[in-house]
Chain A
Amino acid sequence: MKLGFRSKIYLGLFSLLLLLGIVILFVVSMIMKEALLEENKNRGISIGSTLAARMAEPVLAMDFFRMKTLVDETVRLSDDIFYTFVLNDKGKPLVHTFKGGFPIELKEANSVSDIHKYSIRLLDTGKQLIYDYAFPVIIDKDRFGTIRLGLLRTKIQEAINRLWWSTFLSTGIVIIIAIFVGTAVAVPVTRRVKILHKSSEQALMGNLDTQTAPLLKKNCWEIMNCNKKECPAYGKIHQRCWYLVGTLCPNCVEGEYAQKILSCINCQVYQKCAGDEIQSLAESFSSMTLSLKTHLSELQNSEKILKEQRQLLKTVLDATPDFVSLQDIKSVYLAANKSFCDLVGRGEQEIIGRTDYDLFPKGQAERYLKEDLEILKSGKPMVKESNISGFNGSKWLHMVKIPVYEADGKMRGLLCSGRDITELKRIQEQLAQAQKMESIGQLVAGIAHEINTPMGIVLGYAQLLLEEVKPESQAYNDLKIIEKQTRICKKIVADLLRFSRRTESTMSPLNINDTIEDVLSVVEHTFKLDRVSLVRRLEPDLPAIVGDKEKLKQAFINLVNNAFDAIIGEGKITISTHYDVQLDEVIISVLDTGHGIPPRKIDRIFDPFYTTKPVGKGTGLGLAVTFGIIQEHNGKIEVESPPLFTINEKEENSQGTLFAIHLPISGKKNKMEIDHVKHIGIR
């Protein structure tokens, strides 16, 4: 178990005092014992020396009475003087204080030479210890005898014991007092430390509303008699004004603690309110949490604003169709918007911190790096159009790379902005194609017009000659071939003229089912012979549409013929009509079970002279003419190959093609819409 601060103080104090007590007990008692023994020794020496001096005369005079009186007086001096006696120069006792004879052994127990002032021996009588002192009686350098004195060691021991016990008790009392004093000191300290500890824990848990500083008897506004309620220190009973910024005292120095504390030290508020180190710690902690709270709040607000702005910026950047990226001077990506992520097919986090080598093929990355280095070196922006191959296929991009500088003018990196211009490129190509087609159409129309008349003449003369020759003759057969081929040519020419000249239409209300039936009745027999069946799903009661019946028939014939040509072997052509109430248009669809159209070709099927049929089988004008006719009727034509519903139904070997013609009832559909939706369902 870990000891608390208070326990440590107690333990430390107790150990220290105990140690001190033991040391004092032993050292002091030892010193005192030595001192007592020394004192006793000196006392014995003093008594003995005096006695020896006083004994000189009686010894000289052999005045036994005076000698006896002196030794008796000496013994009566103190309880601890056990005996005194005088030996003559021959070591024989002259006088002594013993009753009942002189102890024989005592004579030899101690001796002193002439050159020494005294001699001390510790004697053990079995009952008690005696310090025996021997002093020479010397008169004029002649030895006349010896004075012997016996001091009881027991008495000294008693004194030593009393001393030991009094030291022991004193130490004990000091320890007890020290514990009380220590408690009185430690309790407030530990209480305040505990408050600080709790407050710091609270602060760690996020609660910065801690009040660690103690309440004062008089606060700064009371000491200064100030009524400045707008002062940040006013009313803050747990805060000290010298920690607060912007206090309004006239003596206060502006600024934070570091700036103002030197002047605050001399202020009477500080001198009256400043406490000990722990109070100062508590007060500074309180102020620190307050300051932290304020700064944290400001930081949170700033962070929030920053986050919002960042989010806004990100939204703007992500929302923009252009891709934007920022690289540092080492071409490491620092930021990328959503479009850029889509372009490279990776998430933002996968891009940031990477280089072009991580995102693009090596050759491409090297090229980009070279460009980047060039821009960073020259500081000039770069604008270019580039065709790149990504995960989503090939794309045309319009790219701008601009060097970015920091506030101090130092180059920060490279901002790259780009735009997908694939569609623009495609439209440009289509426009060029259309212009080319228009030129061809004009050329073709001119040629067709010029050819049409001679072809009529050739046909006329061929028919005239047929009337003149016999039908069995070779000439007749040849003329028939001429007539037939001329007619074919004439039809081609007629188609060309229809495509290019856009002949005037004769618009009238018509029933589309009837028009379709006219077409089907013509071709049905022929198709049957080739095992291609026609299925009609014509919705009855269709509203009448306004249109050129002949042109529409031509359009349907083209579609049905194309469907027939697409079927190899046995097959089925389904013709259906349907009225869409919401769109207010009639939808005519032709569905075949043929080989379908490859995706790469489906974009071009409506181009003139584009055909998938073998040479001689098609002119490549059928769908172009059909497209033109439907456009003329403000309708639109869609193609799905294979039809979407077959994909949705997950039919195996799904193939075939569906052409759907939308003809408006009113005949006034928005032309833009028609242009935009040319075909759907390209796989």
Chain B
Amino acid sequence: MGKRLLSAILICLFLSVGCSQEQPAQKIDLSKREQVILKEDENIITYAYLPQYSHTVSYHRHHLLVEYLRKETGLNIKQIFPDTFNKHIKMVGQGRIDISYSNPFIYIKISNRYGARAFSRIVEMNKQKNFRGQIICRADNRSIKNIADCRGKRWIAVDATSAGGYLYPLGHFYNYGLTKSDFSEIAFSPGPGGKQEKVVLAVYAGKYDIGTIREGTLNVVSDKIDINEIRVVANTRWYPGWVYAARKDLEPEILDKIKRALLKLDYNQKEHRQILKPAEISGIIPSDDRDFDPVRKLAAKLGMSL
């Protein structure tokens, strides 16, 4: 009896061991090798969104729009992701970005430096054709109540080339008599990508006293932090909104196709709304270089080289 019991236990044990979930191994030969060579597609029209947010956000916002353009124009349009504003600027100059979607400050730079031509600009989701910058601090920071309180504080801005996140607030401070030297520190978001969000997070974390962002950024980070913890100290004046520009040498036919396609987008159409809404654009209107003269003036006032 005892022997039978013992045998049964042992058999069960061995069977249970045999019942392991280990899958059979697939034979593979690692000795067969190849060199990796990637071939770039030809005849690509590159579309770049100034990396004010992370690439994934950029992708999320604009890939439907790019897809729309691809279908609408029949062109091989592809969204690319430059890591920084400078890289974006340079890539326009290098001809690696055909269609640039950037803020007005970058635009005046690529316009000045590389002859990029504005052909459209967007209408903000709040139906504003212009946009502005915001100066933020922690809601519980009692030492900052107005612009004057920002003196001597640590300031984090989005990027030295950012319009809403640096240039416009700098102009705003200038108007209130504050220059760069009036701040104990001026820092820029570490790159690449997600630079607007990084400003909010740095202020939220208390690493900097004030931050400057493009209006609308707080909504972007609302899923990451409690935005009630952030207080808007001041808004800058309105400036022209984001702009579509083509590199200097882009064929006029292509540009025309793209421009027409963009201008065709109507937020009231459901299909178009599905494209525009992720991009946080309520509409695209025609534009030209003259619309951005106020920005050029601001830059000149601040002594910025374009």
**A-to-B contact residues, CB < 8 Å:** 19, 22-23, 26-27, 30, 33-34, 37, 56-57, 60-63, 88, 92-96, 98, 100-106, 109, 121-126, 129-130, 139-140, 142
The answer to whether A26 and B16 touch across the interface, beta carbons within 8 angstroms, is yes
A-B interface, 6 closest residue pairs, ranked by CB to CB distance from nearest: A101-B33, A124-B25, A61-B81, A60-B55, A103-B30, A122-B25
B32-48 CB contacts (< 8 Å) to partner A: 32-36, 38
Q: Does B17 count as interface, using CB distance less than 8 angstroms?
A: yes
Residue ID in chain A nearest B36 by CB atoms:
A93
Residues A92 and B81 in contact, CB atoms below 8 Å apart: no
CB distance from B228 to the nearest CB of A (A): 28
Are B56 and A104 in touch, CB under 8 angstroms?
Answer: no
**CB–CB A96/B13 < 8 A:** no
Q: Which residues of B contact A56 (CB under 8 A)?
A: 55-56
Bound: A123/B28 CA distance, A: 6
Complex: A105 Cα to B34 Cα, angstroms: 10
Asked if B175 is at the interface (CB within 8 A of a chain A CB), the reply is no
Q: Would A139 and B60 be within 8 Å (CB), given that A30-B16, A122-B24 are in contact?
A: yes
- CB <8 Å contact, A124 and B56: no
**B residues in contact (CB < 8 Å) with A:** 6, 9-10, 13-14, 16-17, 20-36, 38, 54-56, 58-60, 63, 80-83, 192-193
The answer to whether A30 and B17 have CB atoms under 8 Å apart is yes
B20 & A124 in contact (Cβ 8 Å cutoff) = no
* Residues of A close to B31: CB separation below 8 A: 103
Query: What's the least CB distance linking A10 to chain B, in Å?
Result: 16
Closest-CB distance, B255 to chain A (whole angstroms): 25
Establish whether residues A57 and B13, one from each chain, have CB atoms under 8 Å apart when the complex forms. Answer: no
A193 to B72, CA, bound (A): 101
Q: Among B32, B63, B80, which residue has its beta carbon within 8 angstroms of that of A104?
A: B32
Partner of A92 from B17, B20, B23, B36 at Cβ < 8 Å: B36
A140 touches B59 (CB 8 A): yes
Once bound together, how far apart are the Cα atoms of A121 and B24, in whole Å? Answer: 9
**Are A101 and B35 also in contact (CB < 8 A) when A23-B9, A61-B55 are?**
yes
Contacts of A101 in B (CB 8 A): 33-36
- How far apart are the CA atoms of A22 and B82 in the complex, in Å? 62
Most buried by A among B16, B81, B193: B81
Q: Is the CB of A34 within 8 A of B16?
A: no
Query: For B9, what are the chain A residues with a Cβ–Cβ distance below 8 Å?
Result: 19, 22-23
- Output the nearest chain A residue to B60 by Cβ-Cβ distance: A140
**Nearest residue in A to B278 (C-beta to C-beta)?**
A140
Which of A57, A102, A129 has a CB less than 8 Å from the CB of B81? A57
Tell me the nearest residue of chain B to A61, going by C-beta. Answer: B81
A26-B14, A100-B33, A125-B30 known, 18 other contacts, Cβ within 8 Å: A19-B9, A23-B9, A37-B22, A57-B193, A61-B55, A61-B82, A93-B36, A94-B36, A95-B36, A101-B33, A102-B34, A106-B28, A122-B22, A123-B25, A123-B26, A124-B28, A126-B27, A140-B60
Give the residue among A56, A60, A124 with the most B Cβ atoms within 10 A.
Answer: A60
Could you write out 19 A-B pairs with CB less than 8 Å apart? A19-B9, A22-B9, A22-B13, A23-B13, A26-B17, A33-B20, A57-B193, A60-B55, A60-B59, A61-B81, A61-B192, A96-B36, A103-B33, A109-B28, A122-B23, A122-B24, A123-B25, A124-B28, A126-B27
* B29 with A34: CB separation less than 8 A: no
Q: Which residue of B lies closest to A90 (CB)?
A: B38
Closest residue of B by beta carbon distance from A92? B38
Task: Please give the distance in Å from A122's CB to the nearest CB on chain B.
Answer: 4
Residues in B with CB closer than 8 Å to A103 are 28-33
Interfacial chain A residues near B83, Cβ < 8 Å: 61, 63
Q: How far is the CA of A61 from the CA of B83 in the complex (A)?
A: 7
Given contacts A23-B9, A30-B16, contact A61 B80 (CB under 8 A): yes
Q: How far is the CA of A140 from the CA of B55 in the complex (A)?
A: 11
- Given A62-B80, A122-B22, A139-B59, verify A102-B33 contact (CB < 8 Å): yes
Contacting pair A106 B63 (CB below 8 A):
no
Q: Which residues of B contact A142 (CB under 8 A)?
A: 59, 63
Give the residue name and chain of the B residue nearest to A122 (CB): B25
Closest beta carbon of chain B to A133's beta carbon, Å: 13
- A493 CA to B58 CA, complexed, in Å: 189
Which residues of A sit under 8 angstroms from B192, Cβ to Cβ? 57, 61
Q: Are A60 and B81 within 8 A (Cβ)?
A: yes
In the complex, the answer to whether A124 meets B26 with C-beta atoms within 8 Å is yes
Report chain A residues within 8 Å CB of B34.
101-102, 104
Q: Which B residues are CB-close (under 8 A) to A60?
A: 55-56, 58-59, 81
Q: Across the interface, which residues of B come within 8 angstroms of A123, CB to CB?
A: 25-28
Q: Is there an interface contact between A57 and B56, defined as CB atoms closer than 8 Å?
A: yes
Known: A93-B36, A139-B60. A105 touches B28 (CB 8 A): yes
B158 CB to closest chain A CB (Å) equals: 17
CB distance from A403 to the nearest CB of B (A): 66
Knowing A63-B83, A124-B27, the reply to whether A94 touches B60 (Cβ < 8 A) is: no
User: How many whole Å from A58's CB to the nearest CB in chain B?
Assistant: 8
Query: In the complex, A142→B26 CA distance in Å?
Result: 29
Write out the residue numbers on chain B whose beta carbons fall within 8 Å of the beta carbon of A130: 28
Beta-carbon contact of A19 and B6 below 8 Å? yes
Residues of A within 8 A of B30 (CB): 103, 105-106, 125
CA distance A93 to B21 in the complex (A): 31
CB closest residue in chain A, given B67: A142
Which residues of B are found within 8 Å of A122, using beta-carbon distances? 22-26
Contact, CB under 8 Å: B13 / A109 = no
Please measure, in the bound complex, the distance between the C-alpha atom of A60 and the C-alpha atom of B78, giving whole angstroms.
11
In the bound complex, how far is the Cα of B227 from the Cα of A623, in angstroms? 169
Contact residues in B for A88 (Cβ distance below 8 Å): 38
State A151–B33 Cα separation when bound (angstroms).
Answer: 20
Indicate if the CB atoms of A102 and B24 lie closer than 8 Å.
no
> In whole angstroms, what is the CA distance A57 to B27 when docked?
33
State the Cβ distance, B99 to closest chain A Cβ, in Å.
17
